[in-house]
Homo-oligomer: A and B are copies of this chain.
Amino acid sequence: MSLAASKQGLVALEEARRFMVDCLVKSKTPLAHAQQQADLLAEADYRGHFSHGMNRLEMYINDLHKNACDGAAVPTILNETPATAWVDGNNGLGAVVGNFCMDLAIKKAKEVGVGWVCAKRSNHYGIAGWYTMRAMKAGCIGMSMTNTSPLASPTRSKEAALGTNPISVGAPAKDGDGFVLDMATTAVAVGKIEMQRRKNEPIPLGWAQGPDGHPTTDASVAFDTACLMPLGGSELTSGYKGYGLGAMVEMFCGVLAGANYATKIRKWTHAGADSEADLGQCFVAINPACFAPGFEDRLSDMNGILRNMPTTDPALPVLVAGDPERHHMEKVDKEGGLAYHVNQIKTCTELSERLGVKPIVLV
């Protein structure tokens, strides 16, 4: 089947990673940093979060070429205590800053039980779950949050003041099982509205506001207004809780780290930004061995209780946070590659020509 006919191109995980490393290396980024960033983006695609994988590559590259982000920058520690660190990301790549911070948090968790690390002057850091999974691999509970460009309205506000401000919490269970929550504090991400618009279908009430500040069901209006509603939707259905969670993330990130926050954060466009983002981020590791012995056994037991609850629709089993991603990874393994949309492959072709990089190879 031709690429145009299939509407997608299958790319081996390793090849996707190779292509992204090559593109980043041709964009003022040392190999070691390019590999960290590509590992994260490939993992996002592998887990089924295509909006946060290869899809972001061009934006990162545009930022790097415009010097809005410094691919070579190495984070530095500004202040440190046995359980905390305040880090300057020095405007480096999100993955480089984030890995540095989470590794530091894990080290502290192993030493004193908890590590709480905040970074200022960071950049878009990809899927929040990447960092919590890094903690999980070290046997820790991980938590990660970032602020982002304003795109969501506080309850009662006509305009956006906070970003999608994601929060991720991950914990290891037995035999590779676990709990991996990774969620925006808005009802949905912009990508979901974009999809409804392409299909010419309405969006549910509670996803986004129109220019008058009221919830809209028109996907085009919602897309143009770019004002998401917080998790929970309107005030009647407790959207103020989602707004509260978004503000909490802002407090733990921009405010605690001394980075930009709320409306002070720049817009981020596909063409790349003209200024430094100065995002704030928060990375926490907790060593479960400091508490009741047998943590992983109990978490597996709870996962089992939840997965085996009687369902409303027999075709739809109850899932645990991380299960949809687990299912997507199984699908990729079975199919032998990542099923990219044809437009993504086209973007890769353009990038390879622009940067003089070996074109991406389909399976």
Task: Report the nearest B residue to A181, measured CB to CB.
Answer: B244
Q: Is A114 an interface residue (CB 8 A)?
A: yes
Q: Beyond A159-B309, A292-B258, A295-B256, is A242–B237 a contact (Cβ under 8 Å)?
A: no
Q: Is the CB of B258 within 8 A of A291?
A: yes
Q: Is A231 an interface residue (CB 8 A)?
A: yes
Contacts of A171 in B (CB 8 A): 251, 255
Interface set, chain A 158-217, CB cutoff 8 A to B: 158-159, 161, 169, 171, 179, 181, 183, 187-188, 204, 206-207, 209, 212-214
Q: Beyond A187-B232, A291-B256, A310-B159, is A83–B114 a contact (Cβ under 8 Å)?
A: yes
Number of this chain's copies in the complex: 2
Report Cα–Cα, A83/B84, bound state, in Å: 10
Q: Is the CB of A291 within 8 A of B257?
A: yes
Q: Is the CB of A321 within 8 A of B157?
A: no
Which of B116, B244, B258, B263 is A321 in contact with, Cβ under 8 Å?
B244
Report Cα–Cα, A214/B316, bound state, in Å: 13
Q: Is the CB of B317 within 8 A of A156?
A: yes
Contacts of A73 in B (CB 8 A): none
Q: Is the CB of B298 within 8 A of A261?
A: yes
A-B pairs, top 9 by smallest CB distance, nearest first, are: A258-B292, A213-B312, A84-B113, A81-B113, A157-B309, A83-B83, A83-B114, A84-B290, A82-B112
- 8 A-B contact pairs sorted by A residue (CB < 8 Å): A118-B291, A155-B318, A157-B309, A158-B311, A213-B313, A247-B306, A257-B291, A263-B305
